[in-house]
Every structure is written in C-alpha cells, then in structure tokens.
Chain A
Amino acid sequence: MGEVSPALIVLLGGLLVPLIPNGWARNIFMLALPVLGAVQLFSFEFGDYGAYALFGETLTLTRVDGLSRIFSTIFLIAIALNVIYAWHVRDPVQQAASLVYPGAALGGVLAGDLVTLFIFWEIAAISSVFLIWASRNRRSFYAGMRYLAWQIASGVLLLMGIVLYFRASGSLAFGNFLEAGFDITDPAVLFILIAFGIKSAFPLLHNWVQDAYPESTVTGTIVLSIFTTKLAVASLARGFAGAEALVYIGAVMTAFPIFFAVIENDLRRVLTYSLNNQVGFMIVGVGIGTPLALNGTAAYAFCNILFEGLLFMAMGAVLYRTGTVKGSELGGLYKTMPWTTVFCIIGAASISAFPLFSGFISKGLLIGAAAKEGYFWVWMTLLFAAAGVFHHSGIKIPFFAFFAHDSGKRPKEAPPHMLIAMAITAFLCIFIGSAQIFSGPLGDPLFALLPFAEDVAYQVGKDSHSPYIAYTAPHIITQLQILLYSGLAFAVLQKTGLYPPELKSTNLDTDWFYRVPGRGLAGWAAGASRATWIALWGIFSGRVQALMARIYNVHGPEGEMARSWPIGFMALWTAILLALVLFISFLA
C-alpha cells in the first residue's frame, strides 16, 4: 500500500461508510479498516513517510517512532473493538463519525509536524461532535455546541501557537519545545500548551468532558472517551516531556475529580470524572519526563484505553438494556446480566491495579517514576488518587450497578456482539497484567512496544527493584495492603449497616481510604468545591445569559442590526461616514 498513512485508511474509509449497504456488509467493511490500518502501520520501519508540501514547507504526514507506534496500536485496537461493540448501530452518521474521528486522532498521533497535527486536530474536533448530536435531542444539541466551542477554541489556540512558533523559530517541526530552546512561558509555546491542555482536560479546562460525553449515545460515549484525551496526552508527551509544571497539574488532576465522582449519581458521568483522574496520572508521567516516566505514560495510556473502555462498555450495556445508568435506580443486575458483571469487575480490578490485571503493571511505572525523581508530595497524591480510583471506579461502579439493593430490574443479558467486544477487552486486560509472570519483564509484550523499549533492559539489569519488574514481593504486598484494607473497610461498613446504599453516605469510606481524620472533611471538601463551582457558574452563566439576551435584542431577526432600514437611513449613514472620512483626511 505504499506510504499511505494508516490514519487516512481509517478516516477516508469512514467517509465511504454511508455508501456501503447497511447491514453486515457495512459492518465488515468497518471492521476491515482498522485491520488494514494495523497491517500498514506495522509494515513501516521507524521513520518519516508521506512527505507533502504546503506553504512551501515540506510536511510529514506519518512519523513512526516508539511514541507514535504504541499510541497508534492501541487506537487501532480500540477502533476495532468499538466497531464490534456497535455492531447493532444502523445510523450512518454515527457509524461514519465513529471511524472518521478516531482516524483523525490517529493522524494527529502520527503527525510529523505542527501543521499536520493541527489539521487532524480540527478534523477530530468537528467529526466527534456528530457522536454527541447523534442522540438527536435538544439537550445533546446544546451540549454538542458547547463541546464544539471548547474543541474549536483549542484548535484556534493551537493555530495561533503554531503561527507564533513558526515566526519565532522558522520551523514547523513537532518535537520537544523545551529542547528546542523555548521556555514554557513563551507565548508561542504557552498557546500550544493551553490548546493541548483543553483537550486533555486540565483542571478548570475540564468541564466539557462531563458536560458532553454522557449526552452521547450508548456507543458514542465509548468512542469519545478514548481518543480526544489520549491524542492530547500523546501530543504533550511529544512536545512537553520534562516540563515540571505538568507534574503538578497532573497531580491536581488525579485528585480533584474524586470528590465529584463520589457525589455523582449518573454512573457514566462517574466514569468521565474517572477519565480526568486517569489522564492526570499520564500527565504526571509526561511532566517527570524521564524514559521510565514516559514509558509509564505510554503503558498507562495503553492499558487505560482498554480498562476504562471496558467499564464504559459495561455501563453502555446496562444503559442499552435498562435505559438508565443512575446508581440510585440500578442494583441486582448480576442475576440476569452475569457476563456483563464479570467483565465489569475485570475492568474495575484493572483500573484499581489489582495484581494479575493490567493496571498493576502500568501504574507501578508512574508511581515508581515519581518516587525515583524525589517528588514526595506528588507521590503521596498519586497514592491517594490510586485509592480514590479504587473507590469510585473499582467499587462504586460494579457495586451500584450490579449488586447493592435489588432494584427489581431483570433485564436481558447484553447482546452477543457487546459481550464479544467486552470479552476481548477483558482478555487483553488480564493478558497484559499477567504476561510478565511467564515471560519476565524483559519478554513482556507491552514493554516491547514502549517508546523507550531499551530502557527496560537497562533498568532491570541495574536494579532488582526496578518498577519494570511488576511481580516483586514488596510491590505485590504494598498493593494488596491498600486494596485489601479498602475491601475490608467496605465489607465491615456494609455488614454493620454503616454503608447504606444511598449515595450520600459514600463519603464515609473515602475517609477510610484516605485516612483523613473525621468523616466530615471529605464530605465538606466535596460540598465546598461543588458549592463554589455552582456559585461561580451561577454568576458566570447569569452574565452569559444576560449578554446573550442583549446580543439577541440587538442582532436578532427583529433587532436593530438586522432590520430592513428605510432608504433615507442608509443614505444618512453614508453621509455620516463621508463626514467622518473627510474629517480624518483633512486632519491627517
């Protein structure tokens, strides 16, 4: 297939989807695209492919290196899994968007220069909104519009950053900005950082995630949850590795969504908070910037796409069968959806980093990297956040959906294609998590894909307690201590009736997990941050509404600016302008 970019195979193929007859033929076509893309990707050696010229600059469509290869690989896997999961969907807009948008994200990861990155950045933004609009109601329309405004704002900031960077350096190359001699506060680089920051949902730039993702369809939310933030992480890893500010930004990201996740009732929305928290881990790794940390970021992104996707798929199956994902309305579904329950628990175990599951392998790299570089408070925060993940994703999601009090709902098991997709994902979670037991760290299949694959052998040879070696007694015991104590606490509270199924008391066990004295503090932190947010948002949205009303009064169809004015009025304007220009000309 020559030098055709794998991204273009998926993207252009996605555009053709509406032309294929609906049904099996179309589904198989859709499934063939990521497979072809993968074949093409792995036929490339490391290097640059598909050079083209724009504005007299030579640009690179496809750059295959360690970083882009691991992200592309997992993107292609995720695309294929999504196609299987969405086998029942018969909506051409949604089907096309669920290939075009991931294809664009893939193109962004493979982009060899800033302009190519920007082009795919924008295509991803625009194509993804159709997945939100696919719910086809007023709510999703407005959520989509707000989402689009954020995404395009990110795109134009990126564009401004690129223009400034080009003017300052004369180059459109996309490499590490810090190594190119730019300070992070330089406007050019700062614009680009904020653009990346919006897409990766930095704190305070994160709200579009919770606002828009849960408005999408059963299958759309899963697709959305994977690509945008991971494209941003890959871009950050390429451009800003070693930028210390990111360590702290990432640390805040891991911690603050926990409070919101705890008090949230919509389980898909809980997962979007968990998404923020997970991306925070990756950004800490980017900020640390050592080969170990970057390997950790890439490995964590790889595993996260699988287990976070698995959780979203399980919740999607619940939504598909019951029509709701509200924690207070679910419960007891394990009786009729046993397979979904099992897969959801596997996803939960992976995200909580139980030994034998994929999170155990990859999270250790990041936390180890933070400890190694002496970021004590960051390390503490990551542990805190890891425990928080166990609470809101590991326990809350499966418990409230499938166990807890019996809601009386007896839905059918998820349809076969959903089960197949979930089974493959669950298998990968376990395979990645336990392969090392048989192969040893040097033969680990995931490690072979890492951007700094050679670092593995080097570190392992030097240090018998290297984070790359997952199955050491201290690592397993530490992890099990955290998890088992949490589980014990949960069980005790459950038995003694201190853990009623109502949501408000879930604050209780966060106290236990974080060992914060006094059960009030976590509740207070959640309540206070929510109240502050609501107050700020109230002021802001009140202003915005007043402003919009004012704009509408002036510019709306009946407003002064849009009216059909009588001819004398037009002539008057002409006279006024003539007077003005004469005045200016004479004065000048």
Chain B
Amino acid sequence: MNLIAQLPVLPIVVPIIAAPITLLLPPGRAPHLWASLFSWLTFAACIALFMQVSANGPISYELGDWAPPIGIEYYVDLANALVLLLVSGIAAVVFPFAYRSVQLEIDERQTPLFYGALLICMTGLLGVTITGDAFNVFVFLEISSLSGYALIAMGARRDRRALTAAFNYLVMGTIGATFFVIGIGLLYQATGTLNMADLAQRLIGQDNRMISAGFAFILVGMGLKLAMFPLHLWLPNAYTYAPSAVTAFMAATATKVAVYVIIRFIFSVFNFDFAFIGAAFTYVLLPLGLAGMFVASLVALFQEDVKRMLAYSSVAQIGYMLLGLSFATVEGLTATLVHVFNHALMKGALFMAVACVVLRAGSHSIHAFAGLSKRMPVTTWAFIISGLSLIGVPLTVGFISKWYLLQAAFEAGHWYAGFLIVASSLIALAYVGRVAEVMLLREPAEEGKYAMPKEEAPLSMLIPMWVLVAANIYFGVRTDLTGGIATRAAEALMAMAGGAP
C-alpha cells in the first residue's frame, strides 16, 4: 500500500484525525498552529490529487476496498478536483490568517474547540466534494453544517445576534439537508442504489413521479444551502455576525461546494433526457439567478455595514453562477465553474480585509472605513483591488468570469442576459465605489466610536490576505488553470449528461 494509491482519501482522513486531537491541545497558540499545519498538508494532498487527475483522468477510489455500488466510492474528476483545490487552498490561507482575529473575537479557552470545528468544517466540505456516493454527500454535508453552526455562534462574544443568526441557519440548514435526504431516499426507492454512477445507469429510461419529486427535493434542499434567491435569508445574518475569519472561510467555500453538488447531480446523476432538467433550467435557475443578481445587489448598495454588504453581494454572485448553469451549454457550465473559483478568491480577500479593519477599529460599519487609507493603507488597497475584481475590471479574475459569462450568454442566444450581467455589475461598481470613496477620500474619525490608531494590521494577517489578492491578479492574467481546466471539466460533465457538446 503506497501513499500515492491512497491519495484520494488523504484530504479527508488527514484533517478528520487531526480535528479531535486539536481539542486536547492547550488553549492559545497551539491549536492554531496545529490546524494551520494540517490545512497545509491537506492542501498539498489536494494539489497532488489535482495534478494526477489532470494528467491521468478521473480516479475512482474504493473506501476500505469495498467495491461500489455496495461500498462507498470516492470519485475525482476535473470538476471536483478544482473545487477540492479551492476549498483546501482557501483553508490554507485563512487558517494562518485567523490567529490575531480569533484572539480578539473569541474567548481564549474556546480556541481548541474553535480550530477543531474549523478543521471539521473543512473536512466536511472536502468530503461533500470528493465522494461519489449520494448518501455520503448528505453525511459530509451535515458534518460541515453542524460545525458551521457552532462556528457562527461563536461570534456571540462580540455580538449576541450571532446566536439567533446561527439558530436560524441551523433551522434552515436542517430543512435543506432534510429535503436533500428525502430526495436521495426517493431515488433510492426507485433504483435501489446510492452510488452516483450506479444511480445514473439505473435512472436511464425511468421517468416517473418519484424521480421528479426526488429531483425537486434535491434542488430545493441544495438551493437552500447555496443561498439561492429567495432561499438566501439565512445568509446575511450568518455572515455578518460570525467571527471574521469564519466568514472569510465560509463565504469562499460553503456555498461554492453546494453549487458543485447541484452541478454534480444534474449532470452526473440525472441527464438531459429528463424533461424536468430542462424545465428547471428555464423556469427555476434562470429567473431566480437573474432576480438574485439584481435584488441582492440593490440591497447591498444601501447597506451601512460593509460585512453585510459583502454578504448580500455573495447572494448576487451566486445568481451569476446559477445563470451560467441555466444556459445548459459547455460555455455556460465553464462560466459557472470559473466563477465558483474566482468568486471564492475575491470574496475571501474582501472578508479578510474586513477582518483586518475589525481588528483595529472594532467595527465593520462603513463609518469605521472612513479615511482608512491613512490608517491602514495596505489593507485599503487589498480591499480596493479585490473590490475591482468583484466588479469585473480587466487584469483581475472578475473580468475573466464576466468574459466567460458574456460569451456563454451570447452563445446561448440570451441577449438580454448579457445586458443584465452588465447592468448588475454596474450596481457592484456603485457599492464597491461607495466604500472606496469613504476609504480614500474621507477624513478618519479623530474621536468617538470609530476613532482608531494609525496602525496597520499585523503581518500574520496581511501576508495571507495579499496572497489571495495576488491570486486575484495572477488568475486574472493566466487563465489556463481556471478557464482551461473548467472547459475540460465542463466538456466531461456535458458528455456524461448526454447534452450537446
């Protein structure tokens, strides 16, 4: 048994063993170092896995040597290798970043619990992505969600509203997970299997109410998890009141993994022969994607709280992903995958910048950002560059996303969608511009609640943040990783679903 052969299981096994050990460590520095170390090891494993998949094609791994469909199968192709890389990569950046922010926002006695939960959350997200077993998706989804609720609730030390936010998220997340498991149950009833590849085989030719209902439950359940408009209501509060580092991690990863699950189910389990897939594209994903793009952007425009503004912006950005998906073309799917990756980079960096401001100013209200360029220039520019990326300015990843999305919209003949994409990025310009103006041109508060010392965030936060900012620019110039891999992944998925290439 060599390590390379066991590669697919490492991203799960390594952190899930490390997580309980975190609890035994003394509070303070140790849990943080431990968790950071394992986030890097996991990232390394994911890189190796990605290289292997991109060179040799999809990998199927039988857990405990139980052959599928009886045993659990891990199935890695380009689409989920990209998402694995993303989740572990964001973790590898956010975990080291978290230390000072957590020191301020969380009781020191809770740090082993906090980092343990963070590792478990990451493992859950990776598990959801890597597994080829439908029920296993549910299990990992619950693992990531339960730890996620706990992490959000830890924000209560600074703001008690974190408790209600976490509770609401708990209820809604559970409804979503329940819907999802009901959907899986219906499929199991119809086919007698839980393995995705096997499900896809046995579903061929079956088109009955049970399958339709199963699909509906899975779509709505995952729609809740990914904060599809109008099921997004849990998200703004959860992201606003969670500890800063948690927001940076979850905003960049949790919803993206849910988007991936929907893609996986639509393309690898169901296929285009089912009439309800096309109907869901046209009547659910397309209109809700568009509505989300506008409603959430407009709400973001008027927010007085920067963290909350970014949370609403996330809902709008998910609209773009659903829109690309709803075109049901290789281009559209490519655009969605590219944007899943790119949006994680920009939102991660933006929430990290907010975390830096919270550290020094103690608030994420827009008033705390007044004259920030004089107090924290390095953080200010990180925010501005990532903000430009969010708008879609050339040389940043946001532009690449917009480019693919526009191509896809025109290619699919959705002219009006092209215009709407452009129009909603103008709203993004307005809400980012508003913060930029406050940071660059207003005078900082000298006294009162928002007064703060002229002191930059510590290097332990600046370096990880700028790594993400640099990634925003690097992947905005070199598109072969995102664009190239996403195109290949989309072509493979499309071939599975039997759609037009």
- Give chain A's interface residues, CB within 8 Å of chain B: 18, 54-55, 93, 115, 118-119, 122-123, 126, 129-130, 133-134, 136, 141, 144-145, 148-149, 152-153, 156, 159-160, 163-164, 167, 551-552, 554-557, 559, 561-562, 564-565, 567, 569-571, 573-574, 577-578, 580-582, 584-588
Contacts and interface: CB of A to CB of B under 8 A. Distances in A.
B441 A163 contact: no
B441 A160 contact: no
A577 B279 contact: no
Interface in B260-290: 275-276, 278-280, 283-284
B304 A557 contact: yes
Interface in B162-191: 167-168, 171-172, 175-176, 179
Given A118-B394, A574-B231, A561 B299 contact: yes
B224 interface: yes
Contact of A570 (B233, B411, B418, B430): B233
B425 interface: yes
B347 to A, nearest CB: 19
B295 interface: yes
B243 interface: no
Interface stretch (B146-154, B198-206, B401-409): B401-409
Nearest to B172: A570
Contact of B394 (A123, A130, A551): A123
A156 B172 contact: no
Contacts of A126: 388, 393
Contact of B302 (A123, A164, A556): A556
Given A133-B441, A152-B425, A567-B171, 11 more contacts: A119-B394, A159-B402, A159-B422, A160-B406, A555-B295, A562-B236, A564-B236, A571-B171, A573-B233, A574-B224, A577-B223
A54 B279 contact: no
Interface stretch (B77-85, B209-217, B321-329): B209-217
Contact of B220 (A149, A153, A577): A577
A122 to B, nearest CB: 5
Given A55-B403, A126-B393, A574-B175, A582 B233 contact: no
Contacts of B215: 585
B437 A133 contact: yes
B161 to A, nearest CB: 9
B234 interface: yes
B302 A145 contact: no
B212 A586 contact: yes
Q: Interface size for chain B: under 10, 10 to 19, 20 to 34, or 35 or more residues?
A: 35 or more
Interface of B: 167-168, 171-172, 175-176, 179, 209, 212-213, 215-217, 219-220, 223-224, 230-231, 233-234, 236-237, 275-276, 278-280, 283-284, 295-296, 298-299, 301-304, 312, 373, 377, 388, 393-395, 402-403, 406-407, 410-411, 418, 422, 425-426, 429-430, 433, 437, 440-441, 477, 479, 483
Given A54-B477, A55-B479, A565 B422 contact: no
Contacts of A134: 441
Which 5 residue pairs of A and B lie closest in terms of their CB atoms, listed nearest first? A588-B279, A585-B276, A119-B394, A585-B212, A588-B275
B190 to A, nearest CB: 14
A558 to B, nearest CB: 9
A569 B237 CA distance: 15
A574 B441 contact: no
Contacts of A585: 212-213, 215-216, 276, 279-280
Nearest to B480: A56
A561 B422 contact: no
Nearest to A581: B216
Q: Is the interface of B mostly helix, strand, loop or mixed?
A: helix
Contact of B298 (A164, A561, A580): A561
Nearest to A564: B237
Contacts of B437: 133, 141, 144
Which of B231, B303, B388 counts the most A-chain CB atoms under 10 A from its CB?
A: B231
Nearest to A130: B440
Contacts of B410: 163-164, 167
Interface centre among A551, A555, A586 (most CB of B within 10 A): A555
Given A163-B406, A570-B234, A581-B219, A551 B172 contact: no
Contacts of A148: 429, 433
A300 B351 CA distance: 49
Nearest to B164: A564
Contacts of B278: 588
A586 B406 contact: no
A229 B402 CA distance: 26
Contact of B426 (A129, A153, A556): A153
A584 to B, nearest CB: 5
B168 A567 contact: yes
B406 A582 contact: no
A554 B407 CA distance: 32
Given A133-B440, A163-B410, A561 B295 contact: yes
A557 B233 contact: no
A129 B304 CA distance: 23
Interface centre among A133, A561, A562, A581 (most CB of B within 10 A): A581
Contacts of A578: 179, 216-217, 220
A584 B276 contact: yes
Contacts of B303: 557, 562
A170 to B, nearest CB: 13
Given A145-B430, A570-B234, A159 B406 contact: yes
Contacts of B283: 584
A561 to B, nearest CB: 5
B231 A582 contact: no
Contacts of B425: 152, 156
Given A561-B295, A586-B212, A167 B172 contact: no
A562 B394 contact: no
28 contacts: A18-B377, A115-B394, A118-B394, A122-B393, A122-B394, A133-B440, A133-B441, A136-B441, A148-B429, A148-B433, A149-B426, A159-B402, A556-B302, A557-B303, A561-B296, A561-B298, A562-B236, A567-B172, A570-B233, A571-B171, A574-B231, A577-B223, A578-B220, A581-B220, A581-B284, A584-B279, A585-B213, A587-B279
B231 A573 contact: yes
A115 B399 CA distance: 11
Contacts of A145: 430, 433
B230 A93 contact: no
Contacts of B301: 555
A156 B479 CA distance: 20
Nearest to B388: A126
A164 B418 CA distance: 11
A295 B326 CA distance: 50
A582 B302 contact: no
A390 B212 CA distance: 76
A139 to B, nearest CB: 13
B284 A551 contact: no
A573 B230 contact: yes
A156 B422 contact: yes
Nearest to A571: B175
Given A562-B299, A578-B216, A582-B212, A160 B418 contact: yes
A159 B304 CA distance: 32
B231 A163 contact: no
B294 to A, nearest CB: 9
Contacts of A156: 422, 425-426
Contacts of B296: 561
Contacts of A152: 425-426, 429
A390 B394 CA distance: 42
A160 B422 contact: yes
Nearest to B438: A141
A332 to B, nearest CB: 36
A584 B284 contact: yes
B376 to A, nearest CB: 14
A121 B440 CA distance: 22
A93 B441 contact: yes
Contacts of A119: 394-395
Nearest to B428: A152
B298 A551 contact: yes
